[in-house]
Structure 1
């Protein structure tokens, strides 16, 4: 039990860090999505589709930007939800709250890895602005810190079940 109590502050710091970083990803991703909606293709009566029309067209970045932003937004929302579940686990720190926190964190991590893969492709293709580069960096860092958070809460696997009342 003593070993698991030592990991609680580590998990708390990582949880707070991840929550803040996922929030930044959501902010930048929201900006990119809003800009794509405002400045994307105008399609209506009398307008023809452009020759290379893509439903995930972004007026900034490169061919991977649309996929990157969409999956970054999904990873960000699930990451914030994971942080809320993790906060509940930190409050109780017992075996009853562990499964929800661990599964939410694992899902957020896998979605973050998916978004990170698109970030790597976007980096490879070049031609992106500073905000997209910031979001790429945050997702790459989040891939590591979310994994460390998962390791910290799994290291507390010696938690006791709380007595049923």
Structure 2
């Protein structure tokens, strides 16, 4: 069958993204917890710009707070999208693939936002090794999510074309 290639590739990419987004969520959750625990004692001695963001991260720079929050949001949405996308890919029908395509596009936009903040944090510098790992994983998962989104859109086109030519309802 012609649709087995995109189906198996999409399934592989969704499982890979599930693992990567899970790791991003774990590291970002740790960073939020670390920032909450140590922000009071560290930020009390700093000048006013440090108090603009409610959580001060002593392990990063001024972009860390925004990056960690958006990475956590992108990670959680990515895990949910990967789980629902795996279900949609296994069923391989037009409505399920269209919902998987919509979810993957939304997740990619959130991941690109987190990736932009990761690039800003890399540009500023002075980050911890765990934050550098989170930055690298965010950049990698933005690329794999883009590939996954493309494969799902190819699968939608394939299924729609097969139904048109087989006389089925679209």
Q: TM-score, normalised by structure 2?
A: 0.86
CA distance in 1, matches of 2:29, 2:96: 31
Q: TM-score, normalised by structure 1?
A: 0.89
**For structure 2, which runs of at least 5 residues remain unmatched after alignment?**
none
1:57, distance to aligned residue in structure 2 (A)? 1.7
Q: For 2:102, what is the secondary structure of its paired residue? A: helix
Q: Which moved more, 1:115-124 or 1:56-65?
A: 56-65
Taking a change above 3 Å as real, the CA distance of residues 33 and 93 of structure 1, as seen in their structure-2 partners, is same
The count of residues paired between Structure 1 and Structure 2 equals: 158
Say which structure, 1 or 2, has more relative contact order (CA 8 Å, 6+ apart). 1
1:49, distance to aligned residue in structure 2 (A)? 8.9
Q: Which moved more, 1:127-136 or 1:49-58?
A: 49-58
Q: For 1:63, what is the secondary structure of its paired residue? A: coil
Question: Which residue of 1 is the match for residue 83 of structure 2?
Answer: 84
Question: Which residue of 2 is the match for residue 5 of structure 1?
Answer: 4
Q: In 1, are the aligned partners of 2:24 and 2:137 still within 8 Å (CA)?
A: yes
Q: In 2, are the aligned partners of 1:89 and 1:101 still within 8 Å (CA)?
A: yes
CA distance in 2, matches of 1:65, 1:51: 17
Matched, 1:151 2:150: yes
CA distance in 2, matches of 1:155, 1:13: 15
For residues 1-165 of structure 1, the aligned pairs below 5 Å read 2-41=1-40, 51-52=48-49, 53-54=51-52, 55-156=54-155, 157-159=157-159
Aligned residues: CA RMSD: 2.0
CA distance in 2, matches of 1:41, 1:87: 42
